[in-house]
Amino acid sequence: MTHVARAFLLGVLLFLYAPIIVMVAMAFNASPLYAMPFEFSTRWFGALAGDAVLIDSTRNSLVIAVLTAVIATILGTAASLALERKRFMGRAILRILLLPPIAIPWIISGTAMLLFFFWTGIGRGFHAMLIGHVALAIPYVVLVVGTGLKNVRVDLEEAAQSLGSTPLHAFFAVTLPLLAPSIAAAALFAFAVSLDQFVISYFLATPGYSTLPVQIYTAIRKGFTPEINAISALLLGFSMLAILAFVCLSKAGGTLERR
């Protein structure tokens, strides 16, 4: 039975990662038509360096993703602290209302935002995309940070206040360091949600300003080019390094906490 379970798990992992492995491999294949046998080459990375459209759209995606991660993490952490540490009327309802933005299909959210932004005069463009990305990322931050807060002892902060610390100083000196791994994980979630977001960006983008997912979709409609594999491989490598850094920081934080 153990061998069957291992084989099933291996099959699931292969199903999940096989397309990614093929994509990365084709980024280093000399043939533009993915002809075999495989011939190693970095020509598509060189071609990518001269593709201004893909580079600009990647830069736009990274800028929006970083800003989304910062803003959503700050707002989501504050909201999570209020929901976990404060008692007020309607708190349970607010908790429930955080879940629908995650469950609602993004096509519906994108349509609703497009109509709402036009109705309110916000319009389309960079600012509209940033608002949309932040709105979608905040629920993830609240859930991740809220889970981390359940493992942080409130009495430690109260003990610091009894020794003369102000509530603000006690939070930054005691609670925030213990909550740092959860906040970092929430920021990574927000960054990933924004970087991967296609529907909101497609609906709210203006002509001449595009994010990477939108540009990839546009390029595929015109004809797939291997430069897309190259930029995807670079972003995948960047994401893996970010996850590795988070894991290392989490282990270091856990070691310090045990000491």
Q: What is the pLDDT of residue 155?
A: 66
30, amino acid identity: A
What pLDDT, on a 0 to 100 scale, did the predictor assign at position 67? 94
Confidence label for 71 from pLDDT (cuts 50, 70 and 90)? very high
* DSSP H helix total and E strand total for the chain: 13, 0
Whether residue 247 has pLDDT greater than 80: no
Question: What percentage of the chain has pLDDT greater than the value 70?
Answer: 86
Three-state DSSP state, 40: strand
pLDDT tens-digit map of 123-170: 888 888 999 899 888 988 888 888 888 777 776 776 776 766 777 777
230-244 per-position pLDDT tens digit: 887 887 887 777 777
pTM of this prediction? 0.79
Residue 194 in contact with residue 212, Cβ under 8 Å? no
Q: Is the pLDDT of residue 101 over 50?
A: yes
- Residue 190 token pair: 């927000």
